Amino acid sequence: MQSRKVILSGMQPTGGLHIGHLTGALKNWVELQNEYECYFTIVDLHAITIRQEPANLRRWTLDLAATFLACGIDPTRSHIFVQSHVPEHTQLAWVLNCFTGMGECSRMTQFKDKSQKYPENVNVGLFAYPILMAADILLYQADLVPVGADQKQHLELTRDLAQRFNSLYSETFKIPEPYIPKVGAKIMNLQNPTKKMSKSDENQSGVLFLVDEDNQIANKIKRAVTDSGAEIVFREDKPGISNLITLYHIATGKQIEEIENEFAGKGYGEFKKAVADAVVEFLRPFKVRYREIRANEEYLKLIIREGAEQARRVANKTLAKVYRKIGFVAL
Ligand code: ATP
Ligand code: LTN
């Protein structure tokens, strides 16, 4: 039997996750488990390219592991692990550093954006961020990498590095393909509906965190910025209402047209109340599971320990191959 194709994806433990992560990324990950051998990693090494408070980093790492599990990632089928627990990531990253041009990294738009956003800390790690990401992917010989559109450029670099190494030595790395989900609805910030909802946003009143209390969620939705006019229609010139329609669609499974009909002739107030109720109900089962799992740190650590052990078995093989090919002496 041919072995299953491999998926690898990662998320940074840099804050609480919001409803956009659930619908834009995690929901897809859960489905991919049925068909692929999946590695889902919490990339703490990437997180420190921006200054982090140690207590926050520690907490967010376990929060993220609990979120994966609460969303339905099944540790008996997929591998959940923390990047820093698998030293092969930094080891391969070093090797790949030596095969990457300065110009290739300085072209990356994420580097340019982040160095503008944090001008006081433009560090070498931030510059080399995509090389570490390439190591994450190539260690597991991943076929597919589910990412948002903003990460496509990093994936192109990963492919270039893999091809470069393969042609300089011999076939070593699988060339990965990006996997951009079909129509993972993009959720916008409730206070600024032309900007995507983002976990590191300073204005938290526009972000629906998965762990927000029911009344916080309801209040954030009720205070969401809406557009002029009174119609409840999904239209480009109505980003606020369109975003709320998307949320209602996600929470109820109803189609856009059906939603427009349901609220024809009704006011924004009534609509927002319906969206708030639906989103609160939609998130409830997740929150119950999350609280239960998060409270059991021993269990969480067991999952990530086993995940790291399984990951290391695979990562180690690839790294050994690389070391041999470049001429390091094996003992
Ligand atoms: P940060 O604020 O730290 O930059 P972020 O909230 O933008 O983070 P990422 O960690 O970059 O989130 O995203 C992880 C995954 O979640 C990506 O695949 C991305 O496409 C998806 N995602 C993030 N925000 C949204 C959103 N608002 N709507 C839909 N999907 C999203
Ligand atoms: N850079 C990604 C997170 C990330 C990742 C990866 C995604 C790190 N390593 C490997 C896919 C595969 C981000 O910021 N979303």
Read off the pLDDT band of 202 (50, 70, 90): confident
For the question of residue 196 being annotated catalytic, the response is: yes
Specify the pLDDT at position 3: 85
Residue 7 above 80 pLDDT?
Answer: yes
Residue 184 above 60 pLDDT?
Answer: no
Which residue's CA is the nearest one to ligand 1's atom 23?
A: 21
Specify the pLDDT at position 121: 94
Which numbered ligand comes closest to the C-alpha of 43?
A: 2
- Taking the centre of ligand 2 as the mean of its atom positions, its distance from the CA of residue 215, in whole angstroms, is 32
Residues with CB under 6 A from ligand 2: 8-12, 43, 46, 133, 136-137, 145, 147, 151
Total domains in the fold of the chain: 2
Read off the pLDDT band of 148 (50, 70, 90): confident
Q: Is 63 in the same domain as 177?
A: yes
Residue 255 above 60 pLDDT?
Answer: yes
For the question of residue 152 being annotated catalytic, the response is: no
Residue 72 above 90 pLDDT?
Answer: yes
Specify the pLDDT at position 229: 86
Give the domain range for residue 280: 204-291
For the chain, give the percent of residues with pLDDT over 70: 98
Residue labelled with tokens 């994806």 = 9
Is 196's C-beta closer than 6 angstroms to any atom of ligand 1?
Answer: yes
- pLDDT (average), residues 232-243: 94
Q: Is 319 in the same domain as 280?
A: no
Residue labelled with tokens 């090389």 = 131
Is 20's C-beta closer than 6 angstroms to any atom of ligand 1?
Answer: yes
- Taking the centre of ligand 2 as the mean of its atom positions, its distance from the CA of residue 226, in whole angstroms, is 33
Which residue's CA is the nearest one to ligand 2's atom 12?
A: 9
Maximum separation of any 2 CA atoms in the chain, in Å: 77
Q: Residue 120 belongs to a domain with what CATH number?
A: 3.40.50.620
Q: What is the DSSP letter of 22?
A: I
Read off the pLDDT band of 12 (50, 70, 90): very high
Residue 199 above 90 pLDDT?
Answer: no
Which numbered ligand comes closest to the C-alpha of 114?
A: 1
For the question of residue 114 being annotated catalytic, the response is: yes
Specify the pLDDT at position 327: 98
Residue 278 above 90 pLDDT?
Answer: yes
- Taking the centre of ligand 2 as the mean of its atom positions, its distance from the CA of residue 108, in whole angstroms, is 14
Q: Residue 232 belongs to a domain with what CATH number?
A: 1.10.240.10
Per annotation, catalytic residue among 174, 186, 196, 287: 196
Between 10-14, 225-229, 288-292, the lowest mean confidence (pLDDT) is in 225-229
Read off the pLDDT band of 119 (50, 70, 90): very high
Is 186's C-beta closer than 6 angstroms to any atom of ligand 1?
Answer: yes
Which residue type sits at 205? S
Q: Is 275 in the same domain as 302?
A: no
Which residue's CA is the nearest one to ligand 1's atom 18?
A: 148
* Dihedral, 311, 316, 318, 322 alpha carbons, nearest 10: 150
Residue 149 above 90 pLDDT?
Answer: no
Which numbered ligand comes closest to the C-alpha of 178?
A: 2
The answer to whether position 225 is within a domain reads yes
Q: Is 119 in the same domain as 266?
A: no
Q: Is 179 in contact with 134 (CB distance < 8 Å)?
A: no
Specify the pLDDT at position 2: 60
Q: Is 39 in the same domain as 150?
A: yes
Which residue's CA is the nearest one to ligand 1's atom 25?
A: 20
- Taking the centre of ligand 1 as the mean of its atom positions, its distance from the CA of residue 321, in whole angstroms, is 34
Q: How far apart are CA 86 and CA 311, in angstroms?
A: 7
Q: Is 256 in the same domain as 312?
A: no
- pLDDT (average), residues 32-41: 96
Which residue's CA is the nearest one to ligand 2's atom 5?
A: 10
Q: Report DSSP letters for 162-231, one per residue.
A: HHHHHHHSSS-S---EEE--S--PPPEETTEEEEE--TT-S-GGG--BTT--HHHHHHHHHT----SSS-
Ramachandran sector of residue 5 (left: φ over 0; alpha: ψ -120 to 50; beta: rest): beta
CB-based contacts of 134, cutoff 8 Å, min separation 6: 93, 96, 154, 157, 158, 161, 162
Specify the pLDDT at position 91: 98
Give this prediction's pTM. 0.93
Residue 183 above 60 pLDDT?
Answer: no
Q: Is 30 in the same domain as 162?
A: yes
Read off the pLDDT band of 150 (50, 70, 90): confident
